[in-house]
Every structure is written in C-alpha cells, then in structure tokens.
Amino acid sequence: MKSLLITFLLALAVFRAGAIDLPTMGWSSWNTFAININDSLIMSQADAAVKYGLSDVGYRYINIDDGFFGGRDKASGTLLIHPTRFPRGMKPVVDYIHALGLKAGIYSDAGANTCGNWANGDTIARGVGMLDHEDIDADLFFRRLGFDFIKIDFCGGNPEANTGRLDLDPRERYERIAQAIANVGRKDVRMNVCRWNYPGTWVNKVALSWRTTGDIDCSWKSVKRIVKENLYLSAYCGGGHYNDMDMLEVGRTLTQEEDKTHFGMWCIMSSPLLIGCDMRNIRPETLALLKNTELIALNQDPLGLQAYVCRHDAGTYVLVKDVEQYQGLSRAVAFYNPTDAPVKMSVAFADIQLAGTIAVRDLFEHQAVKLRKGDAQLVVEVPAHGCRIYKVTGTERLQRVRYEAEEAYLQCYQELYNPKAVGTAYYEEDASCSGGAKVANIGLRPENDLQWRNIYVKEGGDYQLRIRLVNADEKSTIYAKVNDLDGVKITAADINAGIVTIATTLRAGDNLVRLSNSKALMPEVDYVEVVKK
C-alpha cells in the first residue's frame, strides 16, 4: 500500500511540476443544481471538498456552471452577474475558493445564449454568450475575477437551441475564444470545449479537454452509452489533452456497482473527474470510491494516456494502458461488462505484452490477487453493469505484434457531421474483425488517412507489416508510408486473402505507419501485424 501511495504522490508531483497537464479534477454545479445556484451554495461545496479530504486527493477545481448570469450592460456590453443568486458579485466567491487552496471554474457559451437560457428558461441570461464579446468576457473572467477554468457550451451556436437560429462554425468560434483567453496573458487557464461530440482533430490545439458525447444523466443507460462512444478514441488523448466523458453522476441514484463502473472507467480512460453530487451530504461509500487513490493514480498518471480496447467478446471489453513508464513493466487493465448478466472474462498476460513473474493488484479492493504458479492469464468474474480494474506488473515486456485499426489516428476524424456525407474516416464495430471493429471511409483526399503513430519496436531493423483489409476488390489501391521513407503503392494484385505484406525498415522506438489514397476510397482496415524478418 505504501508503494502505491508513493506512486500516487509522484503523479501529483509531476502534475504540479507541469510536465504535462493532467485531467481536471474537481466539482461542478450542474448535475445536481442546474441553474438553481447561489454564492453560499458554491462556497459550501468548496468547504465540503476540504472538509472531506477530496481536495487532498486532487479534486481542486470548484466549477460554477450555468445560472450565474444577469444579462449585459446595454452601454458597455459588460457581462452582469445574477443580482439575487450572487448579490455581491463573483469576486468574493472566487477569492473564497482560492483562500481554501482550490481553483475556481466558470461557464459560458460560444454563441449568443447559454443552454440554461434556452432549455431552462433562465430569461435574465439573454445574450450572455461570448459571441462578439470574446475579449471583454475573457478579461472579466480571467484577469478581473481570477477564474482558472472555463467550460464553453454551444447551445448559442446550434440553430436548434437558440432563438436567432444561429448556425456557427465550432472551429472558428472556439479558436477565437482560445485566442481571447491567450490575450489576457495567463497560461494556466484550462479551457473545456463542450460541443457534445468529438468536434475534430483541430480541438487538440485549442483546449485541454473536449466533450465527446451528449450530456450525461443519472442512469445506467447514459453511462453505458458514454463509455461506448469513447472506446475507440484513445488516439486523440495525449500530450496533456483529454477526451471528456462529462461530469460524474457518482453518489446520486445509480447502484453502488454502477457507481464503481462509472468512476473506474472514467479513471482508466483519463476523462476529467468532476464530481456532480452534493458534497455536503456525501455518503460514506461514495466518499470512499471518489477518494480511491489507486484509481485516481490511473487517471492522473503522468503519461496521460487513455486505455484502448485489447479484447472484445460478446458485448464485454478488456481495456489496457501503460502506467508510470511508457513501454514499461506495469499496465492497468479494466474488465468492463455492460451487459445485464454476470460474465467470466479473461485476458492472457502475453496479450497485454507482459511476461516473466507476474504480480496483479486489485485497485478496487486494494489488495494483491493470488495467482497460481504457471497461470498465463487473468480470469475475472464481472457482475452485470460491472467493472474490475487491476494493475498488472511483469518482469519482462513483450513486443507487441498486432495493432488494431480502431486504435489508429484518423487525421480528419470528427463526429459532428455524417462522415459519409462530408468524406471523413470513421470507426465501426464489425464482428468479423479481430478486435471487433474497423476503420472505414478512408481516402478521396490526402489528409483523410489512417495513421498508426505508435508502432513500437525495441530494435530497429528489417520488418514485415501485414495489413488486413476488409472488402478489398480489383480496384483497390493503397499508398503506405513508414516514417520518412518513400511510400509504397499497393494494388489488388498485392492483396492475398485480404492480407497485404510490406517489407520495410523500422527504427527503435515509435514508428509512424500511414495508409492513404488521395483520389479514391480505400478498403476498410482491420489491423496491422509487425513481424521481425
């Protein structure tokens, strides 16, 4: 237990040292209170975060969501604060949060109105979005008031959710707002894009995190939907930028098993962790779960990686990611069972690239798992709606052979528009594929490609890449490029039973393998295998 606490503290130390930003941890007002907030409520939540030790394990952001707006000054355009909910304004609230050693977060919209104004009837909040007020609002929020975080919604830019039927371009709006924040001169402000679907690969340069799904609600159906939508987004998490699976519903009306799954999956997938319950009345079992430092250490791991699917069977998933050291000897493994019946699940240690003497620790139960001598796999009974998470450590790291297409980075990937209509590649589940999914709709322009960016080999040298294609035909043409080597043209004559083999040279460490066709659609892609010659 002592060594695990040290690991957790080291992760926090790396975070505070600024190696990379790690997922935001804190509390947000929306899930429990919606627009029904006030200054005393917000300050009491900050008190509770300290009182119950939540701030000590990383929950440091106290975020005020929609409901604080009071319109705009007609002459200057300055944002006004709600006169009865926050009668003294926002500065005393921010100062109170900061005095407790915490960070303060705020909310706005990229368009003219907020979601609370549109959907919750908060009529005093007309015209309070950042559209045409980017610089004045950024100056108010981050220089004059001293907020440290902002969530920026998009109701005011979605024609279905604003009175002006504005249909705004998300990239233009969020890039403009990011520039306004940068103009304030602070480099520590965390910006969260809330466009309700993965908006496009441009967002990685704009925000620290971005919502990838519609709003969560306190139901198993909602949690299950959100996990599914994030299963194949690991390629877009990295370098201190994260897929946001929305605020936590832990501690409200889900079952304890569902709460565990909800929290555990958010942790291993490196989503921001924003508590959504009323912390003043938090139940002991909820507090214990939210303060599980072994799970938090996965979320705040200094590598900042999202777990990827390494096995998919009959509606269940095994996910894995490196922790502590890239290509090291320790990996986190989650067994996720979203079905309505208990399931026995397993994964071979070799399939998560670990060998030698294996040690397994249960991160929910805080105890070692006893293995029998010669055990080659971890077998787990997972209840309905359940999740079990382990840290697995070996004495040898094996070189990975197969990389699934659903782990690859798609340069044009986005979820705002029909990918077939706008010509962008996408991930699709397919039971005939090795990992249960594939990538489709690659090609027609140079940038609509597939990139495996982490083909890792211990030793540089000559290798074969064996790529499995789906639905290849006599017209199939692919251009394959490895690192900065000359590209290779692959035609139907090079494809044998759906497999194309490429001889190439790889360097020690990570390698980039890119598949593209600038003029025609490519066959769908299942996986690539990397074999030393």
Which residues participate in catalysis according to the annotation?
Answer: 153, 215
* Spatial distance between the Cα atoms of 302 and 348, rounded to a whole number of angstroms: 26
C-beta of residue 191 within 8 angstroms of C-beta of residue 181:
yes
Distance CA 382, CA 186 (A): 46
CA distances from residue 121 to 66, 89, 113, 211, 519 in whole angstroms, order as listed: 12, 22, 11, 24, 49
Determine phi and psi for 422, rounding to 5 degrees: -105, 0
Query: For strand 149-153 and strand 103-109, is the pairing parallel, antiparallel, or unpaired?
Result: parallel
Instruction: State the residue for tokens 């709003």.
Output: 215
Strand partners, 273: 25
> Taking Cα atoms as reference points, which of 489, 410, 490 lies closest to residue 449?
410
Q: Say how far apart CA 242 and CA 305 lie, in whole Å.
A: 9
What is the distance between the alpha carbons of residues 152 and 189, in angstroms, rounded to a whole number?
13
Question: Which three-class secondary structure state does DSSP give residue 248?
Answer: coil
CA 10/CA 24 separation, integer angstroms: 17
Measuring CA to CA, how many Å separate 399 from each of 333, 409, 458?
Answer: 17, 21, 7
Q: Report the alpha-carbon distance of residue 161 to residue 129 in Å, rounded.
A: 13
